[in-house]
Amino acid sequence: MKTMISSIDINNIDMKEIKKQAKLLSEGNTVIFPTETVYGLGANALDENAVKKIYEAKGRPSDNPLIVHIYEKKEVYDLANDVSENAEIVMGKFWPGPITIILNKKDIVPNTTSGGLDTVAIRMPSHKIAREIIKQAGVPIAAPSANISGRPSPTKANHVKEEMEGRVGGIVLGGDSNFGLESTVLDLTGKIPMILRPGSITKEDLEEILGKVDLDPSLAKKEDNKKAKAPGMKYTHYSPDADVFIVSGESVNVINKVNELTELNHKNGLNTGVMCLEKNKCKYMAKVISLGETLEEVASNLFDALREMDKLNIDIIYCEEFETTGLGQAIMNRLLKSAGYKIIKA
Ligand code: AMP
Ligand code: MG
């Protein structure tokens, strides 16, 4: 497939290019565009044939529902029934932004978009380019992360160009994503709001405005993965070609353990990579990619680091462990999945 590529500067948006890409969307084609979380692979959410092209391009299982991206809050009422007070509160406080809400769906949303569920996931992104594209397309846009299913989500223009050119109708190259992790997914169909996927808007942030918020219990353990309420959470995810391990323990023990293993791997002809906090980067003997100093930086660098390791032909990646409060919850969720839940205790 010939892919139409547009490079767009977020500070000086070229509306002619936006309109060309938006036209592809309104004609039932797929277009990749940047959002504040990760790059999304979009198609008209209300057009079953268009949505099928998303699943094809990604190689995504069809029981894994898509998030519908809207331009204005009022579109929620066209797509969902029973828009609760909690939904209004979340939309009022965090939209546009990196949180997706699950509500009961109206018939207008095809089953292909909802993965056969009676509910629909909706988000109003804040990214200027994403917003212009959705507005100009004139329809709600279903858009999962723009990676081949199972691979790390794309957070930079070169990720989508390298992986998806030829697989979609259009690609908008528009710089780096701000947050670098996918949106928080919040189920508002039950009595107590439940986080199905942790993200940059944290449990703590949500509890401030909603009171009690639950975390899908299946997120905690690998064995419970199959019971995950967000169908997508049960699949292998964020996997580079290299084998990923999380190393947990006191910092000095982690460093010693990783250096020991690096030597062993070397003897076995295997290339080792380490992903760590900036402050530790000189302490490892392996090829190191620093994830930054703060959790915000780690979140925004994580997927790129996994992809970079593949480019460096790394066979085994060791990653430091992070706390599981605040943003750390989302980071550890992605890391654990990437590592297939393999943890080495140092
Ligand atoms: P992605 O499209 O890659 O950002 O992933 C979207 C995530 O939201 C996946 O984990 C989906 O399974 C989840 N999701 C989307 N729609 C629903 C829904 N109606 N109910 C539960 N989870 C959903
Ligand atoms: Mg994804």
Q: Show pLDDT as tens, one digit a residue, over the chain (346 residues).
A: 999 999 999 999 999 999 999 999 999 999 999 999 999 999 999 999 999 999 999 998 888 899 999 999 999 999 999 999 999 999 999 999 999 999 999 999 999 999 999 999 999 999 999 999 999 999 999 999 999 999 999 999 999 999 999 999 999 999 999 999 999 999 999 999 999 999 999 999 999 999 999 999 888 766 666 667 877 776 668 888 999 999 999 999 999 999 999 999 999 999 999 999 999 999 999 999 999 999 999 999 999 999 999 999 999 999 999 999 999 999 999 999 999 999 999 9
Rounded to a whole number of angstroms, the distance between the first and last alpha carbons of the chain is 49
* CA distances, 220 to each of 87, 159, 182, 190 (Å): 25, 29, 18, 20
Which tokens belong to 88?
A: 């209004």
* CA distances, 195 to each of 106, 258, 259 (Å): 22, 33, 37
Give yes or no for residue 121 CB within 6 A of ligand 1.
yes
Identify the structural domains of the chain with CATH numbers, from first to last: 4-220 (3.90.870.10), 243-345 (3.40.50.11030)
Nearest CA to ligand 1 atom 2: 144
Instruction: Give the list of residues 6+ apart from residue 165 with CB closer than 8 angstroms, or none.
Output: 3, 5, 171
Task: Give the number of other CB atoms < 10 A from CB of residue 165.
Answer: 14
pLDDT at 226: 64
For residues 153 and 38, the answer to whether their CB atoms sit within 8 Å is yes
Give yes or no for residue 104 CB within 6 A of ligand 1.
no
pLDDT at 229: 80
Phi then psi for 98, rounded to 5 degrees?
Answer: -85, 50
Instruction: Give the list of residues 6+ apart from residue 113 with CB closer than 8 angstroms, or none.
Output: 45, 46, 48, 51, 65, 66, 68, 120, 142
Q: How far apart are CA 13 and CA 1, in angstroms?
A: 26
Give yes or no for residue 231 CB within 6 A of ligand 1.
yes
pLDDT at 63: 82
pLDDT at 228: 74
Q: How far apart are CA 198 and CA 335, in angstroms?
A: 12
DSSP letter for each residue of 248-272: ES-HHHHHHHHHHHHHHHHHTT--E
Give yes or no for residue 292 CB within 6 A of ligand 1.
no
Q: What is the CA radius of gyration of the chain?
A: 20
Nearest CA to ligand 1 atom 22: 230
For residues 296 and 310, the answer to whether their CB atoms sit within 8 Å is no
* CA distances, 7 to each of 144, 170, 203, 208 (Å): 21, 11, 36, 39
Q: What is the DSSP letter of 167?
A: T
Give yes or no for residue 168 CB within 6 A of ligand 1.
no
Nearest ligand 1 atom, CA 197: 10
